[in-house]
Amino acid sequence: MPQVDLQELKREYLEYLEIERNRSPLTVRNYDHYLEIFLDWSKAEKPGDITAACVRSFRLYLNRREDENGRKLKKITQDYYIIAIRGFLKFLAKRDIETLSSEKIELGKVKDRQVEFLEIDEVERLLQAAHGGKSENLRDTAILEILFSTGLRVSELVNLDIDKVNLKTGEFSVRGKGDKLRMVFLSTSAKIALNDYLLRRKDLSPALFVSLKETGDPSRLSARTMERIVKKYAVAAGIVKKITPHTLRHSFATDLLRNGADLRSVQEMLGHSSITTTQIYTHVTDKHLKEIYNKFHSDKE
């Protein structure tokens, strides 16, 4: 069988991810980026050029690589490169193209992921910091309430349109990672905050959250702007933790689990494709269980 150019095979692999695996455009772009860097670094031209020694040397390169500020790649970022390479090798094997077996490449052991979340009193302080009668306060309070009430990713929130949210039922569907559709629910306080904000809106923009321009049509808020909004009120509330919209997603999940929700249900509400991802929260609830044990269990003396 004649050797096929690796760049051509990479193109076919990316098309396979898009069509047959139904990966999102962002995922396909990321895989393209990781594989392009690997192929450029390795100078591999045909499948047989990808050897165990080649991949091992590339891993050393990633581990020692520094940016202009002397910062190294995070371990999880290094793993993304290796996952992309393994996926590419599996694809080649399915095509009966002789190359390195993907099973010979193992992911490096990484430390347990640390989850930063807010305690309920901190959430209340954050929300209180945003309260006020101005349009900006109403909008920002609604943003914070929805993030904590639904566990939405900031990318999901910025793409929401007004007509997609049912304020009467307090529920709506959202399309998340991997084009996966799920149902999310609004708390009573979130519904009130969102209704107050929308009553103040006079523009015709379909976007749920917009900039508050005095003249001209408002623009849809970006993820970066929402990050700045969350950080602004965290500082105002005197919260010293590093707070982002994703922190409120973690807080949503932690609050559910602490109050008795099962892991599988939380997985569905977060839109995780694998329960393994949701399990990052279990160590948080385990600590909470220990606190309850120490408080309520009597030792025999």
Domain residues of the chain, as ranges? 6-104, 120-294
Q: How many CA within 13 A on the CB side of residue 47?
A: 23
Instruction: Evaluate if residue 34 carries a pLDDT over 90.
Output: yes
Stretch 73-82: mean pLDDT: 88
pLDDT bracket for residue 107 (50, 70, 90): confident
Are 197 and 139 within 8 A, CB to CB? yes
Q: Which residues of 135-144 are buried (b: 16+ CB within 10 A; e: fewer)?
A: eebbbbbbbb
Stretch 38-64: mean pLDDT: 93
Q: Provide the CA 11 distance to its chain's centre, in angstroms.
A: 26
Q: Which residues, 6+ apart, have CB-to-CB distance to 257 below 8 Å? A: 263, 266, 281, 282, 284, 285
Are 248 and 119 within 8 A, CB to CB? no
| Three-state DSSP class for residue 72 | strand
Position 2 scores a pLDDT of 54
Instruction: Evaluate if residue 168 carries a pLDDT over 80.
Output: yes
Are 205 and 217 within 8 A, CB to CB? yes
Architecture of the domain delimited by 120-294: Orthogonal Bundle (1.10)
Work out the percent of the chain whose per-residue pLDDT is above 70: 89
Please state the pTM of the whole predicted model.
0.67
* Least-confidence region, from 78-82, 141-145, 177-181, 289-293: 289-293
Residue 249 annotated as catalytic: yes
| Three-state DSSP class for residue 250 | helix
CA distance 123 to 242: 13
Residue 246 annotated as catalytic: yes
pLDDT digits (tens, 9 = 90+) for 240-265: 888 999 999 999 999 998 888 888 99
Q: Pick the catalytic residue: 23, 86, 139, 153?
A: 153
Residue 281 annotated as catalytic: yes
CA distance 176 to 284: 25
Q: Pick the catalytic residue: 46, 125, 177, 220?
A: 177
Are 81 and 37 within 8 A, CB to CB? yes
pLDDT bracket for residue 22 (50, 70, 90): confident
> Is it true that 6-104 and 120-294 share their CATH fold?
no
Q: Pick the catalytic residue: 10, 139, 249, 250?
A: 249
Q: Rounded mean pLDDT of the chain?
A: 88
Are 156 and 180 within 8 A, CB to CB? no
Rounded to whole angstroms, what are the CA distances from 78 to 19, 100, 135, 185? 26, 19, 44, 36
239 DSSP 8-state letter: -
Tokens coding 252? 């949503």
Position 1 scores a pLDDT of 46
Residue 153 annotated as catalytic: yes
pLDDT digits (tens, 9 = 90+) for 205-215: 999 999 987 66
Instruction: Evaluate if residue 186 carries a pLDDT over 80.
Output: yes
Bigger pLDDT: 142 vs 2 = 142
Instruction: Evaluate if residue 110 carries a pLDDT over 70.
Output: no
Bigger pLDDT: 274 vs 295 = 274
User: DSSP secondary structure string, 171-237?
Assistant: EEEEE-GGG-EEEEE--HHHHHHHHHHHHH--S---BSSB---SSSPPPBPPHHHHHHHHHHHHHHT
Q: Pick the catalytic residue: 13, 34, 197, 281?
A: 281
* Residues 173, 122, 284: CA angle, nearest 5 degrees: 75
Residue 80 annotated as catalytic: no
* Residues 180, 230, 159: CA angle, nearest 5 degrees: 30
CA distance 232 to 136: 12
Position 276 scores a pLDDT of 80
CATH number of the 6-104 domain: 1.10.150.130
CA distance 134 to 119: 27
Work out the percent of the chain whose per-residue pLDDT is above 90: 60
* Least-confidence region, from 59-68, 121-130, 156-165: 59-68
pLDDT digits (tens, 9 = 90+) for 41-50: 999 989 999 9
Are 230 and 144 within 8 A, CB to CB? yes
CA distance 16 to 178: 14
Residue 241 annotated as catalytic: no
